[in-house]
Amino acid sequence: MRTSRTKIRCLAVLLAVGGAFALCLPSAAVPMWARRYNVACNTCHNWPAFQLTATGLDFLRRGHRLKGDGFDKDWTHLVAGHVEWEYDAASGSTNQFNSPNFHLHAGGALTENFSGYLNANVNNDIEAAYLQYTKEWGDDTYFTARGGRLGPTLLRNYGNGLEAGASDPLILTATTLNSNPFTPDRLNNGVDVGGRYQWFFAQAGVLNGDDVAGQASVGHHKDFYATLEANPDGVSGVGLYYHHGGYDLGDPAAPPQLNDSYHREGVFANYSQSLFRIAGAYLYGKDHVATVTPDRKIHGWYAQVNGYPSGWVAVWARYDDTKTQDETGQVHTRQGTVGATFKVFEMNTTSARIALEAGRQQMPGVHTNLGVVNLLWAF
Amino acid sequence: MTTATRKTKSGIGGAPEPATAAAPAARDRWTTAAIAALALVLLVATALSMPAAARADAAAGAQLYKDKCVGCHGADGSGSTPMGKALKVQDVRKPEIQAKTDAELAASITNGKGKMPPQKGNLSAAQIGEIVAYIRTLAKK
């Protein structure tokens, strides 16, 4: 009797899981738009990597909408989700078996000119949330303005957008200078305006930086950023980046604070074809901290090659080199990373990919071997 | 049937012949006839097989086209979908497109062209051939 009941329960679970799969809809990295426009992942991404294609980049800049779009009442075209699980291994450290993250995505055109986007990491915080206005003239000229939690589109294309695996270039996500916690590839609350004219896309914004508990407070500071990109074929090209910000460094509970005024400047470039992509960037920065002389400095670069030999796999290799210089001395970090991303499956109901990467980081007197396994399922 | 025919022929031919003597000759005639009929059937089947294969290709290609291409190119191939207009995709019914060889069209689908993503690894060569066959039918509609 018990066996029979167990079998029925197992069958019910199988039916539920099978039903859930069957009810899932066509998917992509952000599948709601794949559903809306009835296109595959590789229209906007170099799937199974997430690097944006020319189509994807223009779609992002226009507020995740196409010219002439209006509000779509079909909720399956407005909402999507993905579950991501990552295992990080580093020699000499306790390996991390991270909990799966669930992301809720929502957005698209609200009216002919207004659109919205939300990327909420349910386990953590809101990664992006903004309203956007876009006004177009002709096919390749438009003005756009955003407000909410956002970051420079340029860095989306070279930061997270460079994703062939799970890790990002050190100069964008990992390298900070002394007690200044700033990294370019982050999102903050603010407003920005941008526009495209033929090959060129420019964007500028004002952001309210994040306080870092016990380390730095933004106080009255407001950060400013500006970018300029030239993309003759829509995605390959050169980009310039400038960020100026301020922090009150030190323990906010123990004044006096050290007023830190800093800036970062970068030049980015990539050459993209359907089967490969070569990308790189150089970043330079300087911090002027009250009572500290001389100014603290940071500079670094990376070079990355991506290969897209088939729709099943994307391979890549990246070299990172960063130097930070402050009153205590210089830290030179070098890292080589290789990786591959495999499509686990992609069908009319759902899709998934797995990214594997291995790296070796070298700092003065320390070598660290790194490994990442990242599994992502979008629906 | 064979026995009946044999009897009739025996009757026309006058004195009955022993069945055992007549059998090999009759069998030869029927074997020849069967081979000829089979050859005829094969010839007809061969003659009909090419268009039938093309029709089968186009039918299979219709489903693949619906799955992979219709979002940009539209059900009628005109490219008048929101994504198609945004990407300025070509009308596949146009004579310039239809004038391309099957190999040229297959190469464009396999490796991508302009903003059209490559289907290498997503579709087999046979499936791409089926899509090409279906694209040919769009021009006639």
Burial environment of residue A120 by CB neighbours within 10 A (0 to 12, 13 to 18, 19 or more): middle
Flag if A139 and B88 touch (Cβ within 8 Å).
yes
User: Looking at the complex, does the CB of residue B55 fall below 8 Å from at least one CB of chain A?
Assistant: no
* Averaged pLDDT for residues A336-347: 90
What is the residue type of B104? E
Flag if A311 and B112 touch (Cβ within 8 Å).
no
**Chain A residue with the nearest C-alpha to that of B87:** A55
Residues 83-112 of chain B whose Cβ lies under 8 A from any Cβ of chain A = 83, 85-88, 111-112
**Contact residues, chain A, for B82 at CB < 8 Å:** 37, 66, 68-69
User: Looking at the complex, does the CB of residue B80 fall below 8 Å from at least one CB of chain A?
Assistant: no
Confidence of residue A9 (pLDDT cuts 50, 70, 90): low
**Chain A residue with the nearest C-alpha to that of B122:** A311
Confidence of residue B40 (pLDDT cuts 50, 70, 90): low
**Chain A residue with the nearest C-alpha to that of B69:** A39
**Residue B46 is inside which H or E element, if any?**
helix B19-68
User: Looking at the complex, does the CB of residue A67 fall below 8 Å from at least one CB of chain B?
Assistant: yes
Tokens 């970068």 identify what position? A266
**CB atoms near residue A25 (< 10 Å):** 15
User: Looking at the complex, does the CB of residue B16 fall below 8 Å from at least one CB of chain A?
Assistant: no
* Residue among A37, A274, A309 whose CB faces B82 most closely: A37
Flag if B118 and A66 touch (Cβ within 8 Å).
no
User: Looking at the complex, does the CB of residue A219 fall below 8 Å from at least one CB of chain B?
Assistant: no
User: Looking at the complex, does the CB of residue A141 fall below 8 Å from at least one CB of chain B?
Assistant: no
Q: Are A282 and A175 in contact (CB under 8 A)?
A: no
Residues 6+ apart with CB under 8 A from B76: B93, B138, B141
User: Looking at the complex, does the CB of residue A25 fall below 8 Å from at least one CB of chain B?
Assistant: no
Q: Are A72 and A64 in contact (CB under 8 A)?
A: no
pLDDT at A11: 46
Give chain A's mean pLDDT. Answer: 86
Asked if pLDDT for residue A2 goes beyond 90, the answer is no
The helix-helix angle for B102-111 and B125-140 (nearest 10°) equals 120
pLDDT at A19: 37
* Residue among B71, B87, B121 whose CB faces A311 most closely: B121
State how far residue B49 is from chain A, nearest Cα, in angstroms: 32
State how far residue A40 is from chain B, nearest Cα, in angstroms: 7
* Averaged pLDDT for residues B111-125: 87
**Contact residues, chain B, for A234 at CB < 8 Å:** 115
* Residue among A42, A54, A66 whose CB faces B83 most closely: A66
Q: Are A306 and A46 in contact (CB under 8 A)?
A: yes
Partners of residue A302 on adjacent β-strands: A281, A320
In chain B, what percentage of residues exceed pLDDT 90?
Answer: 38
Flag if B72 and A39 touch (Cβ within 8 Å).
yes
State how far residue A42 is from chain B, nearest Cα, in angstroms: 6
Q: Which of A172, A184, A277 is nearest to A235 (CA)?
A: A277
Confidence of residue A27 (pLDDT cuts 50, 70, 90): very low
pLDDT at A139: 86
Distance CA A116, CA A3 (A): 52
Asked if pLDDT for residue A246 goes beyond 70, the answer is yes
Query: What's this model's pTM, rounded to 2 decimal places?
Result: 0.81
* Residue among A54, A69, A274 whose CB faces B82 most closely: A69
* Residue among B82, B87, B111 whose CB faces A274 most closely: B111
Q: Are A134 and A59 in contact (CB under 8 A)?
A: no
Asked if pLDDT for residue B15 goes beyond 80, the answer is no
Q: Which of A205, A206, A161 is nearest to A58 (CA)?
A: A161
How confident is the model over A77-118, as pLDDT tens digits? 999 999 999 898 888 777 767 788 999 999 999 999 999 999
pLDDT at B34: 72
* Residue among A55, A68, A309 whose CB faces B82 most closely: A68
**Contact residues, chain B, for A68 at CB < 8 Å:** 82, 85
pLDDT at B140: 67
Q: ipTM of this model?
A: 0.76
Task: Please give the interface size between A and B, counted as residue pairs whose CB atoms are below 8 Å apart.
Answer: 56
User: Looking at the complex, does the CB of residue A60 fall below 8 Å from at least one CB of chain B?
Assistant: no
What is the residue type of B35? I
